Structure 1
Amino acid sequence: MLVDLGHFTPGLSLTGGLLIGAAAAVLILFNGRVAGISGIFGGLLNWPRDDVTWRLAFLAGLVGAPVIAALLGEPAQAEIETSWGAILAAGFLVGMGTRYASGCTSGHGVCGLSRGSVRSLVATATFMSAGILTVFVQRHLIGG
């Protein structure tokens, strides 16, 4: 295995993880809500909507953080080597998966595991295994 030391950022990664954990803890302590992105976004689509303010603020932070980071320094450069059709299909499949799993990676992986949820442990093991298998097939069997 080759580690790209130019992009190896353990300090920034640790800081990001601590901030995500702190944000999840603050949300559940002060609002009684799990910081699962699909649930937060999905709550905006349900009627009646009585808790719109905090949901919009949370989503604004998700969108606004990279914008602020770009203003403060070098913006992140994502290189996605696929078609828009594949991106849309992948997004649709992820959305379906979050419904079947009763939550997304952030809800199960960050909040569910920290609460000791067996359902979240199974969901996290499933999506991690699927991701590992997908990368293996793409890189070694299909050739990417």
Structure 2
Amino acid sequence: MRALIQRVRQASVTVDGQVIGEIGAGMLILVCAMDGDSSAQVEKLARKIPKMRIFTDENDKMNLSLLDTGGQALIVSQFTLAADTSRGNRPGFSTAARPEVGKALYEEFIAAMSAQGITVATGEFGADMQVALINDGPVTIWTEVE
């Protein structure tokens, strides 16, 4: 499973002109289930991300996690994180999980994050979404679990 994490001051996702999810300070998490992923990868990712120390402490050092700060998470599915750009100019997405598997794992990831007491907002799987954010730092972290 792959994720792109952005530390944000605020973020929102809009579908068909309606804001369907928004958060204040916390993380925007773009997530992609890869072919062969299962609940094991979901659990690893859901344990790892909230503990990532990417928020600043009183000394302006990145020592605090989402759990430490009580921040929120906006979780958005993004199959394009599976892009293979090794050949030509058109990315391939064949390494992404099939949509029905991806959706189930995305929903499982949301539940696993919520179960840790994190306030979670979401996008809509498979929808054409517009994501707005104020990246704080900027801090953007790529992570993947196998």
- TM-score band by shorter chain is under 0.3
Which entry has the higher C-alpha Rg, 1 or 2? 1
Q: Which structure dedicates a bigger proportion of its chain to helix?
A: 1
State the TM-score, normalized to the length of structure 1: 0.26
- Structure with the larger RCO, 1 or 2 (CA within 8 Å, 6+ apart): 2
